[in-house]
Structure 1
Amino acid sequence: MTIDFTQQALQVLQIEATAISQLARFVNDDFNKACQLIMDSPGRVIVSGMGKSGHIANKIAATFASTGTPAFFVHPGEASHGDLGMITKDDVVIAISNSGETGEVLTIIPVLKRIGAHLIGMSGNPASTLARLSDVHVCVQVEQEACPLGLAPTASTTATLAMGDAMAVALLNARGFSADDFALSHPGGSLGRRLLLRLEDVMHTGNTIPMVPTTATIKTALLEMSAKGLGMTTVVDKHGVLQGIFTDGDLRRILDQRYDIHDTLITAVMVRNCITAQPQMLAAEALKLMEQRKINGLVIVDQHQHPVGAMNMHDLLKAGVL
């Protein structure tokens, strides 16, 4: 028997989309108070929940932590057996329970009160015990679960996760959290490479920089380009100051102009006032610059316009920036 799963899947997506769209009514003064409580806290955010709410709590804690709000997950069951020692009076606890009556969550609230930690309750029942005992309650109520039996948490967990994302991003913006800040907590992946890598980390330096003097001929420049393999060469004066650049593209441009490569000086065909960059420039910014100016190579100079590095698109590709 062939079963069409698509109709049920579409119905689930519609129910969950509706649940998220209706959350806007709960982004209110209580939401603002919860965010302000976290913003003013000198400690961390501890997120806790049981079962499926625990999985959602774990992800919310991870999102907070990666967007500038120090946070971690504490299992409420384990909290009653020693893990409450992780929580201090300076911390804010976000307790998640769809019903607001989860026993393991309610059990630790008196201890949290005694410690002096602030409590944000997040549930689908604004009249619940959790809502009543919390300093601030953020409602995540949904009209129906996507589960046809109304038993498995589906729309409710989706709504809770979305509300957690909303809080994390609101706090990110309030803190002025930047892409550089984000990269510092993600150094291991491609995102970290794109955001943290600087030209000084990938550029060719020293004798590997293609370089000829202004007295060089086109032939000498071509030999230097071939030897260094970057598809270009810098041209410098007797003081080592950059005067121009000559690339493979420039060579193609002059082929029909009948230059004598043995006698013509490179200064006659080089590009003056070429685009340069500094060693501290982010590789991602350099990539954007090269794409905008439609160039394949870049010369890196110091404050005195001495070439200190050179690179091309292939170097960015090898570094994982592209």
Structure 2
Amino acid sequence: MANPKPLMAKSSGTDHANPAIQSALRTLDAEASGVVAISAALQGPLGTAFAAAADLIRQAKGRVIVTGLGKSGHVARKIAATLASTGTPAFFVHAAEASHGDLGMITADDVILALSWSGEQAEMKNLITYAKRFRIALIAMTAECESTLSKAAEIALTLPKAREACPHNLAPTTSSLMLLALGDALAIALLEGRGFTSVDFSVLHPGGKLGAMLKFTRDIMHAGDAVPLKPLGTRMSDALVEMSSKGFGCVGIVDISGAIVGIVTDGDLRRHMRPDLMTALVDDVMTKNPKTISRDLLASEALEILNSSKITALIVTDANRPVGIVHLHDILRAGVA
């Protein structure tokens, strides 16, 4: 019996009349309208509450405890991760687990950010009571300004009402995206408010592709005797030996003070190819004022320079003196690209 053929797309074009595609477009339109509604609300009362929430979190001595239940709980977990990774210490506490011992994770110096679209989850009651008892600041993120959660909070971030993308208006879809969008907006506002830089970001993201992109030049450069260097006045024959032995396809040229003044590359050799090239001086062949980088430059930025300049290696300098060299292959091995 012949094996059945795998299901394959029939045409190269997209069938816009396909019911699944039409459903997807309706979902995206519904969710996009929710985000647009938040943008409009931020220009009114929500904006005032949002600014107050950012100030409260920024001034807190402790952490942001992000909590929620169900789909709001999943969103809360992601918001906590985003806050923590962008310089605002935060972690997630499940609203139901809080009543079974996890309230002990929350201190009087913390700020609670509670997510609930309805603001009426029964599991929130003990958490609200705990916050009141120990005078822990509570920020609500909900769509109901008259809900139990909103009334108990110092600050209520009241989102505009929106219809779910679900055709029955039941499954949390648009509402979940709106909670997530407002949480992301809060995290980025706090990031920008404290001047959180890419250098700060690299400290919190040492792993994975992102961690590789945030490595510094000093982390991947070759230093010491590995750097191909020759002084002004060197014969090209000696410079070529240095270039070949170090294996970077170039040799840096320094003046009497040790400052970098030029570089001889494979391209320079081709451009100056003549019978007496080996007896010529590097002064006559080198490219003057070569591109250099700092040891404190991010590896991702070094890659951009290499690509835009269409070169394969960069001399690393400190006060215009060569201290290392970075090759394109070093950046690729580090996982930056």
Q: Percent identity?
A: 47
2-side partners of 1:94 and 1:102: how far apart? 15
2-side partners of 1:3 and 1:210: how far apart? 62
* 1:75 corresponding residue in structure 2: 94
- Residues 1:249 and 2:267 are matched in the alignment: yes
* 1:270 corresponding residue in structure 2: 286
**In the comparison of the two structures, how many residue pairs are matched?**
317
Q: Counterpart of 1:47 in structure 2: which amino acid?
A: V
How far off is 1:260 after superposition? Answer: 0.7
Q: Is the partner of 1:113 in helix, strand or coil?
A: helix
2-side partners of 1:237 and 1:155: how far apart? 65
Q: Counterpart of 2:336 in structure 1: which amino acid?
A: V
How far off is 1:209 after superposition? Answer: 2.1
**Any gaps of 5 or more consecutive residues in structure 1?**
none
Q: Counterpart of 2:211 in structure 1: which amino acid?
A: G
> CA RMSD, aligned part only?
2.2
User: Contact between 1:45 and 1:94, CA under 8 Å: does it hold in 2?
Assistant: yes
Report the TM-score when normalising by structure 1. Answer: 0.90
User: Contact between 1:88 and 1:116, CA under 8 Å: does it hold in 2?
Assistant: no
How far off is 1:3 after superposition? Answer: 6.9
1-side partners of 2:198 and 2:279: how far apart? 51
How far off is 1:87 after superposition? Answer: 0.7
Q: Is the partner of 2:325 in helix, strand or coil?
A: strand
2-side partners of 1:9 and 1:171: how far apart? 33
1-side partners of 2:96 and 2:295: how far apart? 52
User: Contact between 1:141 and 1:156, CA under 8 Å: does it hold in 2?
Assistant: no
- Residues 1:23 and 2:38 are matched in the alignment: yes
1-side partners of 2:121 and 2:328: how far apart? 56
How far off is 1:315 after superposition? Answer: 2.0
Deviations 1:53-91 (A, max 9, x none): 111111111111111111111111111111111111111
* 2:334 corresponding residue in structure 1: 319
Which of 293, 300, 303 is equivalent to 1:287? 303
How far off is 1:294 after superposition? Answer: 4.1
* 1:161 corresponding residue in structure 2: 180
- Residues 1:194 and 2:209 are matched in the alignment: no
- Residues 1:9 and 2:24 are matched in the alignment: yes
Q: Counterpart of 2:314 in structure 1: which amino acid?
A: L
2-side partners of 1:265 and 1:140: how far apart? 72
User: 1:96-115, aligned counterparts within 5 Å?
Assistant: 96-115=115-134
Question: Which range moves more in the overlay, 105-114 or 286-295?
Answer: 286-295
Report the TM-score when normalising by structure 2. Answer: 0.87
User: 1:135-284, aligned counterparts within 5 Å?
Assistant: 135-195=154-214, 197-236=215-254, 241-255=259-273, 258-284=274-300
Q: Is the partner of 2:287 in helix, strand or coil?
A: coil
How far off is 1:98 after superposition? Answer: 1.2
